[in-house]
Amino acid sequence: MNQSNHPFAGVYAASVTPLHADFSPDHESLPELLKFLQQRGCHGVLLFGTTGEGPSFSPQERLALLQTALDQRSHLPGLRILFGAGTPSLDETIFLCRSAFDMGVDGVVVLPPYYFRKVAEDGLFEWFSLVLQRAVPTDGAFLGYHIPPVTGVPLSLDLLSRLKDAFPRSFAGIKDSSGDAQHASQLGARFGADLLVFNGSDKLFSLALEAGAAGCITAMANLCSPTLRQLWQAYQAGQQEPTLQEKLNTCRAVMDNYAPFPRFVKALLAARHGFPVWQVCPPLQPISSEPLAQALAEWDAACGA
């Protein structure tokens, strides 16, 4: 059942998107952020996921910053780059996925079409099938993004099974950000090593690894990747590390108090790791000074640097 030997296995940061004061992507800061994440234990990054404020940006903005990231790979050997390509538009999602693969991305992570929430599974299967047929090469890696608390559109086990049967090579797996322990266990029981599963909920990381997950893609990996990497490596060695999971739980509890995550992560990266004070894109707003001071104190007490 274990997926740890898969080439994509490991710890990924759902990276923030550096932004200037005018909300435009900060291309100059991205290389240093990628270097920082790799040096602290990340096997890869996901650009333009939820923490990266992906749906807030145009296709052109997303692809331009992706190109900046891909240009850095020669300086960051081994760092894998995933790209958040989901939109409610079928045509736009196809364009983003095809463009990303043409540029040389390692894989795409795609939300379901989230505008219409009460849709039939057959409709979702058709939508994902068209994206896979028209935009994903046979050897490309496509990950569905299961985050029903945000999208309102779950990816059921039966839907995943249908997609895997129809596209056994290109439909690689799922990013599971449901926060549902039962679902994390069911994924492992249903698919074993046949479907790559990346945990998106830090509090469930150990459980997901026990169920056979390949690794994680989380917001907290921007800040806690050393702990996530230690826990991942322990499981590869057949060891359980409850104290590491407890630390992740404590840190995640602090983050949860200051959601949405992009503004919290950007504030912590600036205050504790010397990065610029990056803007967040409206409708998100930065944490004001008094809550930020409290957040920093809580984080330092719970998690350290």
Segments making up each domain of the chain, as ranges: 10-239
For the stretch 217-252, pLDDT in tens is: 999 999 999 999 999 999 999 998 899 999 999 999
CA-to-CA dists, residue 91 to 94, 135, 154, 283, angstroms: 5, 10, 21, 25
**pLDDT over threshold 60, residue 1:** no
Condensed to tens digits (0 to 9), the pLDDT of residues 283-300 reads 999 999 899 999 999 999
Active site residues: 50, 115, 145, 175
- Average pLDDT for the chain: 95
- Domain 10-239 part of CATH 3.30.70.141: no
Say yes or no to pLDDT of 274 above 90: yes
Which of 65, 8, 69, 7 has the alpha carbon at shortest distance from 35?
Answer: 69
pLDDT tens digits for 8-51? 999 999 999 999 999 999 999 999 999 999 999 999 999 999 99
Average of per-residue pLDDT across 65-87: 95
Task: Tell me the whole-structure pTM to 2 decimals.
Answer: 0.96
